[in-house]
Amino acid sequence: MRRKIVAGNWKMNKTFQEADELINEIIEGLEDANHKGVDVVLCPPFTFMEMTTDYAQESEYAVGAQNVSSFDSGAYTGEVSAKMLHSMGVEYCIIGHSERRKYFNETDEQLTQKAELLLKYNILPIFCCGELLPEREAANHFEVVKSQIENTIFKLEPLDFAKVIIAYEPVWAIGTGVTATSDQAQEMHVFIRNLISEKYGKEIAKNTSILYGGSCNAINAKELFANPDVDGGLIGGASLIAIDFLKIIESF
Ligand code: 13P
């Protein structure tokens, strides 16, 4: 059966002290929260990775990175490799986030390389896809998401693909307070699951976790997660506030 996952993408937020405080609030909350059956993942900036993996040893969350190099190792100043992340106990890594596609010009080819390297080092990719507002308005959203997936993670062998987590994040919903409706999320998730089924077969499709991201918060999470094909959330802003993040985790 596919897993339910709530992952917090902190993006470029928090100081070291603030991150320490947030993690401790989440750890305390997780001790009381009813999060049975939900895998919780924290994705801090690299600078707080060591602290987050250290605390994780005593707590019930796993750690994810927000990015990884498309190179394996060597003279790539400023980059962080999958091997390094693995050596620190990082278990997940977000790739293909729309902010990285937009501001850092990430290409499909680089994303495919990143996915392959992560899998080589036993890190589960959380692959983001999603359309821009004009693309939805032009009723192109299915085509856009299809090509984002086909040009990257569909290049993986079935056994590798089976480890990928997908996050549908409509770009117009990210950080805007405008969330996709429950129907819009479910419709796209079913579309993605059908694509997987056609490419890799029913069993892999059934077992792939597809998360929703984009202005998901403590109020709307319950309705979004109630959809049969929404297997959790990739949370931005609301993951920076412990009580909100914990409420989202409890929304299943
Ligand atoms: P928000 O939850 O802030 O809209 O961000 C979503 C996101 O981009 C998670 O990766």
Give residue 7 CA to ligand 1 midpoint distance, Å.
10
What was the pLDDT predicted at 168?
98
What was the pLDDT predicted at 34?
76
What was the pLDDT predicted at 44?
98
- Taking CB atoms and a 6 Å cutoff, what residues make up the pocket around ligand 1? 9, 97, 169, 174-175, 213-216, 234-238
How far, in Å, CA of 154 to CA of 7, rounded? 23
Query: 106, 131, 135, 169: which is the annotated catalytic residue?
Result: 169
- Residue nearest (by alpha carbon) to ligand 1 atom 9: 236
User: Which of the listed residues 11, 13, 41, 176 should we mutate to test ligand 1's pocket, taking the one with most ligand atoms within 8 A of CB?
Assistant: 11
Give residue 215 CA to ligand 1 midpoint distance, Å.
6
What was the pLDDT predicted at 33?
76
Write out residues in the chain with pLDDT < 50, as ranges: none
What was the pLDDT predicted at 222?
97
Hey, which CATH number is domain 4-249, 1.20.1600.10, 3.20.20.70, 3.40.47.10, 3.50.50.60?
3.20.20.70
- Please identify, by atom number, the ligand 1 atom nearest to the C-alpha of residue 238: 2
pTM value surpassing 0.95? yes
The structural domains of the chain, with segments of one domain joined by +, span 4-249
What was the pLDDT predicted at 81?
98
Give residue 67 CA to ligand 1 midpoint distance, Å.
15
What was the pLDDT predicted at 226?
97
